[in-house]
Each structure stands twice: as C-alpha cells, then as structure tokens.
Amino acid sequence: MRQQLRKKRNSKTQYLRVLVVAVVLLILGVLFLVSTFGSRQFGPMHKIAMEFVGPVQKTVTATGSLLSSFKSDYIDSIQNFFKLNEEKKRLSKQLQETEALLNRSREAMATNASLRKLLDFKNAAEQRSIAATIVGKDPSPFFRSVIIDQGANSGIVKGSPVVCSEGVVGQIFTTSPNYSKVLLAIAPSSAIDVLLQKSRVRGILKGTGELTYRLEYILKNVDVEVGDYVVTAGYGGVFPTGLPVGIVSKVFRQPQGMFHEIEVHPAVDYQTIEHLLVIEKPNLNEIFEQPVQP
C-alpha cells in the first residue's frame, strides 16, 4: 500500500518537474523572442548588460594595445635599426615637402580670412568633440561597427558624427551611459551627403562593406577624375561641412544610365584606427532660443 502511495507521489513529483521545466523553457523562449524580434530598440536590460561587460572589454583591449606598443617600441625598433639611414633621408625629404605645403596653406588661410572679413562672414561656432577609444568590434562578417568607451554621460547622442584626424569614420547608432556603438561609414547601411571638392557637385556616399566607398548620383556631365577629393556637404546637419571623406580611386564610364559609377578610397585607415572624436550634435533648441542681434 505504502509502496503504491510512494509510486503515486513519485509520479506526481516527476509530473511537476516536467511542468516546471516546460514553464521555464516557455518563459525563456518568450524572453528570447522578445529580445530578438520584439524591436530594434536598445532597452534598459541591454544597457545594463553593456555596462557590465564593457569594462572587461576595455581592459582586454588596453592590455592588447600595451603589448603591441611594447612590441613596436622595443622589438621592432631593433629590427628597424638598419633601415634608419634610409628612413632619415626619406623623412628629411618629406619634411621639406611638408614645409612647402605649410607655407602654401598659410597663404591660403590668410586669403580665406581676408575674404571672410570682406564678406562679413560669420564664423561658425566651434563644435565640441569628445575623445574616445575603440574597445570592441562586431565579430560578425555581415556588419561593420565598433564600440567606443564614451556614452550618453559624456553628451553623446544617437546620430552624433564620429571622425578622426584623417576624416569621417561613421555615426553613433546606440548609446548606453558609458559606451556607444558606431556604425562605420564603410557599412552598407551608411549613407553620407558629400561634395566633390573640385567641382562642388553633391552626391551620396555609401559603404560597400569593404575598404572602399561608392559615390552615387553624380551626373555623367560632371567632370570627375581619379584623385579628386571628396568632403562632407554639411546638409542635414549631421556632419560639419568640408570634412575629408576620401579620394576618388576609380571612375567607371558606362554608356548606359544617367550617373557615373565612382569608387572612393577612404581617407581613414580602418585597419589601424584606434582613437576617435565624437562631434557633439548642436542642440537645436539652444540655437533657436538665442536672441537675434540687430
């Protein structure tokens, strides 16, 4: 009798166990589906997780770069010792060229300043920028994005433009308090309003997923040559005007169609990029609230 009772109890316990497992699995599945397909928004749970793992990522990246800098400072310098003389000659020549270029630039700046004065041109207020370091990258081969160690606490908002000393890098697409994700300009979903510096013709620069851009909507009657500089147009208020984006590397002239097919080589070296500048987006309310001077 007792054995029968125990058997009954055991079967009940087993049934309960299966039920609990099924409920847990169902909850997990729902959570999974909600987090996966519910929305593409970055919720508080995501932000907490990002804040939790971000510092570890930062430490690992810092250690890696420290090791690589140690290698470049000490080990590589021994290897390069014999190439120093050659390098010295090359650098002195480069220095002369740079000095000549600097003189020309000074002249251009002086001319520019006088012209601005002449036209009573208002100097655009200098935009504040935030220095950031790349701490992680998307391991998937289908996207091109990186994570930086500055977030909403530093004033970064979604859509802020990201640049480096060479030129445009991309745009912020998600932020948490201390970390942000940057969509690189080489990503296929990226599109930037640009100008051909020589002809001042406007076009749209799109990423290809590789280390090149594609310049679109440039009419065939426009004179485009390999080596032309491409800069940001500044329309739409995302990027400031005149930031270097790249150089035209190929122009495909085809008999069909209205537009040129243009390939642009990025000004930024995406293989060695480490430190970035995030330009703070101007607060439109502040601009409109400023009193108009007579």
Binding-site ranges for another protein (CB under 8 A) = 21, 24-25, 28, 31-32, 35-37, 39-40, 42, 45-46, 49-50, 53-54, 56-57, 60-61, 64, 135-147, 173, 181, 183-184, 186-189, 209-211, 270-273
CA–CA dist 246, 231 (Å, integer): 7
Distance of CA 185 to the CA centre of its chain: 6
Q: Are 218 and 239 in contact (CB under 8 A)?
A: no
Handedness of CA 183, 188, 189, 190 (dihedral sign): positive
Closest distance to another protein from the beta carbon of 47 (Å): 8
150 vs 175, 181, 193, 285, CA distance in Å?
9, 9, 26, 24
- Rg for the chain, CA atoms, rounded: 28
**Amino acid letter, 236:** G
> Which CB atom, from 98 or from 165, has the smaller least distance to another protein?
165
CA–CA dist 280, 183 (Å, integer): 16
> Which CB atom, from 123 or from 140, has the smaller least distance to another protein?
140
Q: Are 154 and 174 in contact (CB under 8 A)?
A: no
Closest distance to another protein from the beta carbon of 158 (Å): 14
Closest distance to another protein from the beta carbon of 247 (Å): 19
Q: What is the DSSP letter of 153?
A: G
CA–CA dist 205, 77 (Å, integer): 40
Q: Are 163 and 238 in contact (CB under 8 A)?
A: no
> Which CB atom, from 229 or from 259, has the smaller least distance to another protein?
259
> Which CB atom, from 141 or from 294, has the smaller least distance to another protein?
141
> Which CB atom, from 28 or from 91, has the smaller least distance to another protein?
28
Closest distance to another protein from the beta carbon of 169 (Å): 10
Closest distance to another protein from the beta carbon of 36 (Å): 3
Closest distance to another protein from the beta carbon of 277 (Å): 17
> Which CB atom, from 197 or from 208, has the smaller least distance to another protein?
208
